[in-house]
Amino acid sequence: MAIKPKIDLAFACDTGCVRTNNEDSFKYLDEGNDFWACVADGCGGEAAGEIASRISVDVFAEEVSKNRNSGRDISFVLRDAVVKANKTILEASLEEGREGMGTTFSSIYIRGRNAVIAHAGDSRIYRKREGKFEQLTDDHTWVEAQVRAGKISKSDAENHPNSGLLMRALGMPDFKAPDISFIDCVEGDAFLLSTDGLHRVLTMSDISNYMDMEPAKAVSEMIALSLKRGAPDNVTIIFFKILKFERIEEQTLFELEGHNT
């Protein structure tokens, strides 16, 4: 007997209005009493960005599947899975045409009433609980580092020419490990995982308002607004709400993955 979150989930992955290819990837898994989801935004090389993002979600899924019931703390399992994904990307980047490829990576793993986040880059994870909206991840960008250092203001950072300059991502030679953070989960929590194609064109206020909607409607309208505002980058969204926690006896398995739509 285990406690499992009952989840209402929706997702979308759109190329946007400017790009001709989609370098985003995503995946989620609902198995037994566990649930996890991840998004990745590739970069570098001609078509190599999509290869890097795909490697990250595939290796992560494989490593977590192999080790999630090993008895190790799930935070170590997630950390090692991301480190393995980074190593695989670096090895693949040695092939011609893939030099310098990399990817952001953001994931959340829910077990019972607790969750662990593993994150690198500027994709984001948000939560809204009882009206309080917050970003659960830090952007690993040059601009965000300058904001934290007090050298530029938050308002100036929004349209800064170096806003997309990543300081940390999978595929970088000096990458060591993802940020790991721990949160609790309660019934009614709304979570959003997204690549930067979303927050480039939607404000924090926009996103917060959509998180009050049911997931399928919210995702559809966020994509529509992104496209209306020009969507200069690929946009990927996984939005889910915890409806309740229930006790289960049998394991169930459902996995969905996708990219390049």
Structural domain contains residue 197:
yes
Q: What is the CATH number of the domain that holds 54?
A: 3.60.40.10
The pTM assigned to this predicted structure is 0.91
**Local structure of residue 168 (DSSP, 8 states):** S
Count Cβ atoms within 10 A of the Cβ of residue 189 and give its class: 0-12 exposed, 13-18 middle, 19 or more buried. Answer: buried
Structural domain contains residue 143:
no
* Residues 200-237 pLDDT 10s: 999 999 999 999 999 999 999 999 999 999 999 999 99
The band of 150, judged by pLDDT with boundaries at 50, 70 and 90, is confident
Number of domains in the chain: 1
The band of 258, judged by pLDDT with boundaries at 50, 70 and 90, is low
Tell me which residue range forms the domain holding 6: 2-138+178-249
Tell me, rounded to whole angstroms, the distance of Cα 46 from its chain centroid.
Answer: 22
Structural domain contains residue 185:
yes
Find the mean pLDDT for residues 32-55.
88
Model confidence at 249: pLDDT above 80: no
Q: Which amino acid is at 14?
A: D
Structural domain contains residue 168:
no
CA terminus-to-terminus distance, the chain: 39
Contact indicator for 78, 97 with CB cutoff of 8 Å: no
Give the per-residue pLDDT at 260: 52
Structural domain contains residue 20:
yes
